[in-house]
A and B are shown apart, each in its own frame.
Chain A
């Protein structure tokens, strides 16, 4: 049972890495908190649901569509909202208020448009029968979703460390002032990171019905809490630290659900409190936060 819980936790950990990755990328680059992150994830889930319902589109193709569309939506949204925030004295606090409003609006519009019924996609779409790992049987949809999550993390890594734009993005993460002084086009870099953050939330949303069972328009705040736990554990502002946070969160969640199931919902809050008390810089700390 312990091995099964640990393996499931690892699989869920990879998925929750994807859940937190976009939020951490946006915070790392812009130092703003996108409280609507969970709602963009929810919109990704609804997109996958409708694309599957109308066109029987495979979730992998839906994920590709969602990545492109959400990233493109993120660009004008960035220019509409974020430059004003970045120019403000207390951009972090202002971003909380602004994105809270956006989150409420997205949730309300989605509820009006699609109702509050729970939506899901059958797990067999991603393959039937369990996958056996170290003698343990895991649903194929979980393993598939975890694989996609790892691929998304790898893409973000390649973007940050193997491309010119990624290098400029890391420079902005290290010091926004120095980046501007060096001639980096701050808003271009930030807009792309913001779009990518929404795109990653969208991909996580596509696989949410398989990992979370079902989605409703009200799932955003719950996702945000999990995402915050993941990125605070992994180190706020360090996108790749999210992997560690995701694994810690996923394994803890599965162990709790296995041995203390009635307490499992408390886990994100417990992890947040524990890390903030014991190691507020996150498990990876300052050593890697700068880039």
Chain B
């Protein structure tokens, strides 16, 4: 049984004739937290979309728990335990309850109900407004709902695209704290971010630059590399 939960190798992908990813690859192990650091336009979202099947890979492969999923549709990948939190994160025109039910659409009904109650316990602000439209929530609350929606299906791997976008530092800390709780339960995380605060969560880090993976290693190793530290932490 391989230790790798997600394994992507040599991914090329893009939009139309524009190639964005150039042989990108990464691995996420069971229960591990991996942060993918990169500036705007580095190809983070494109890579995540290829991993989720939202964008076809031109070449390369993606495997989940040892099974090749390169050509699998997104809904089948979600059934196999992947969840994706996009920047939009929620359905604004649906209620909080409906958002959670859609996030857990493949779960057995009783398990979904129990999971939703667990999530409402963690996010009391959402619990009080179950029938309110997600569009009526503040930006931070929407992001929390996005996290809860992605977790409601009890995924094995949660892939997040810039969860800190548009959030105050307080909310960012809250998101990190909540995700930290679920890591203990065996959840693997892959977080694409520009915000280095998320490195608090990371077991390993990848950097993406111009569609190519540059650095791969621990947070300590990232700090030890002066050039990378300057690039991502703005230190002189």
Chain A residues in contact with chain B, CB under 8 A? 164, 167-168, 170-171, 173-175, 177-185, 290-291
Which of chain B's residues has its CB closest to A188's CB?
A: B75
- Total residue contacts A-B, CB cutoff 8 A: 66
Do residues A290 and B78 form an inter-chain contact, with CB atoms below 8 A?
no
Do residues A182 and B84 form an inter-chain contact, with CB atoms below 8 A?
yes
Do residues B92 and A181 form an inter-chain contact, with CB atoms below 8 A?
no
Given A173-B93, A291-B94, the answer on whether A184 and B102 have CB atoms closer than 8 Å is: yes
B167 within 8 A of A: no
* Interfacial chain A residues near B106, Cβ < 8 Å: 183
* Interfacial chain A residues near B89, Cβ < 8 Å: 178
* Interfacial chain A residues near B84, Cβ < 8 Å: 181-182
Apart from A182-B105, A183-B75, what are 7 other A-B pairs with CB-CB below 8 Å?
A: A167-B94, A170-B91, A171-B94, A174-B91, A175-B91, A177-B86, A182-B102
Which of A167, A178, A183: most chain B Cβ within 10 A?
A183
Chain B interface residue count, Cβ-Cβ cutoff 8 angstroms: 27
Listed A/B pairs (19) with beta-carbon separation below 8 Å:
A167-B101, A168-B102, A170-B93, A171-B91, A171-B94, A171-B98, A174-B92, A177-B54, A177-B86, A178-B88, A180-B75, A181-B52, A182-B78, A182-B102, A182-B105, A182-B149, A183-B105, A184-B75, A291-B91
Residues in B89-113 with C-beta less than 8 Å from chain A: 89-94, 98, 101-103, 105-106
* Interfacial chain B residues near A290, Cβ < 8 Å: 92-93, 135
Do residues B75 and A178 form an inter-chain contact, with CB atoms below 8 A?
no
Which of A164, A167, A173, A182: most chain B Cβ within 10 A?
A182
Do residues B54 and A181 form an inter-chain contact, with CB atoms below 8 A?
yes
Q: Once the chains are docked, how many angstroms separate the CA of A168 from the CA of B153? A: 15
* Interfacial chain A residues near B149, Cβ < 8 Å: 182
Do residues A178 and B93 form an inter-chain contact, with CB atoms below 8 A?
no
Residues in B68-87 with C-beta less than 8 Å from chain A: 73-75, 77-79, 83-84, 86
Q: Once the chains are docked, how many angstroms separate the CA of A29 from the CA of B79? A: 23
Q: Once the chains are docked, how many angstroms separate the CA of A163 from the CA of B135? A: 21
Min CB gap B87→A, angstroms: 10
Min CB gap B228→A, angstroms: 30
**Complex interface bits, B120-157 against A, C-beta within 8 A gives 1, otherwise 0:** 00000000000000010000000000000100010000
